[in-house]
Amino acid sequence: MPNQKTFKILITGAGGMLGSDLAAVLKDDFEVVGLDKRPVTHLTVPYDICDLTHARKTRDAIVSHQPNLVIHAAALTDVDYCEDHHEEAIEQNVGATKNVVDACNDVNAALIFYSTDYVFDGQKKGEYTEEDTPNPISFYGNTKLQAEQYILAQAKQAVIFRITWLFGVWGRCFPKAILRQAADAKKMTVVNDQVGRPTYSWDVAEAMKSVLLKKREFVFDQKPTIFHLGNMGTVNWADFARFILNESNLGSVKIEDISSTQLKRPAPRPLNSVLSLEKLKHELALELPSWQDATRLFLPRLKRELAAQDERSKAQAAEKENTAG
């Protein structure tokens, strides 16, 4: 196993919500490069453009970097879009993962892959363990399960982390949607019958750093395995929305609770998304902060990033005007 300084990590989907935080958190301790489908202005590590659905380009990109570890965070994550675009969902979530796994095997790189609570049907009473049998009810969940199965059967060295209800600064997520709606509404409806663990992408990235610094043998020299990962505590979406509004001094915006059947969306969601964190605690000595603490750190960071983005857009507009003038 290479020592830390020469340990090279390639992150796919490096410009996405999780990929961006992985790059920011891991770059100080490891050599980090990224791959993404299109240019990303906020990335702080070198990256190449590569469409992972293209097998030869994916192999060429991974071979040219010779990473020790590939963290595969790229996916088609729009659950409702996947429900209506099966072919594309299979290509992006299954085909691209196969290409990444095959290339990793070729260069003897270990693999970390992110799957989802949506591989379960949500009917279990109690927390889902890694031993429970998946039974996805959405097409997205189905494609992520197919990707898992390919990894378990074919990857030489891999760890699958099933993560859940992810939120972060660089992408579409629930807290951002609630804050956006609260900007022009006094009242909104949110479902109250789905329960899960809101999980901050920054905390997932910190957890990866901890594993790679302290428990690297779990990624290397071992057959593919699955861990569930998430922030501590559980909540339903409506109460999570209330918490976000209260912490943002928007408590006057009212949340009306509704059921999942009232919210007609193309893809069904599991009612119980609560993943057991026991294996994570016992085998990787990992316990993430509570979702409340995570959200309290996330909200001011989001505010700072949005203000910085605003400044950048204004500066770009001013520069354009100057050039035109």
Ligand X SMILES: NC(=O)c1ccc[n+]([C@@H]2O[C@H](COP(=O)([O-])OP(=O)(O)OC[C@H]3O[C@@H](n4cnc5c(N)ncnc54)[C@H](OP(=O)(O)O)[C@@H]3O)[C@@H](O)[C@H]2O)c1
Which residues make up the interface to ligand X (CB under 6 A)?
Answer: 13, 15-19, 36-38, 51-53, 73-77, 92, 96, 114, 116, 144, 163-166, 171
Quote the least distance from Cβ 324 to ligand X, whole Å: 29
Quote the least distance from Cβ 313 to ligand X, whole Å: 19
Q: How many CB atoms lie within 10 A of CB 216?
A: 17
Quote the least distance from Cβ 75 to ligand X, whole Å: 4
Q: Which residue's CB atom is positioned nearest to ligand X?
A: 16
Of residues 160, 320, 321, the one with CA closest to residue 228? 160
- Cβ nearer to ligand X, comparing 31 with 36: 36
Between β-strands 47-49 and 254-258, what pairing exists: parallel, antiparallel or unpaired? unpaired
- Cβ nearer to ligand X, comparing 65 with 144: 144
Q: How far apart are the first and last CA of the chain?
A: 58
DSSP class of residue 232? B
- Phi, psi at residue 9, to the nearest 5°? -115, 130
Residue 319 CB-density burial (10 A; 0-12 exposed, 13-18 middle, 19+ buried): exposed
- Cβ nearer to ligand X, comparing 98 with 279: 98
Q: Is 185 helix (H, G, I), strand (E, B) or coil?
A: coil
d(CA 73, CA 141): 15
Quote the least distance from Cβ 133 to ligand X, whole Å: 19
One DSSP character per residue, 272-305 reads B--B--HHHHHHH---PPBHHHHHHHHHHHHHHH
Quote the least distance from Cβ 181 to ligand X, whole Å: 18
- Cβ nearer to ligand X, comparing 88 with 293: 88
* Contact of 165 with 231, CB cutoff 8 Å: no
Catalytic site residue from 118, 140, 150, 200: 140
- Cβ nearer to ligand X, comparing 230 with 253: 230
* Contact of 17 with 232, CB cutoff 8 Å: no
Is-catalytic flag, 150?
no
Catalytic positions are 140
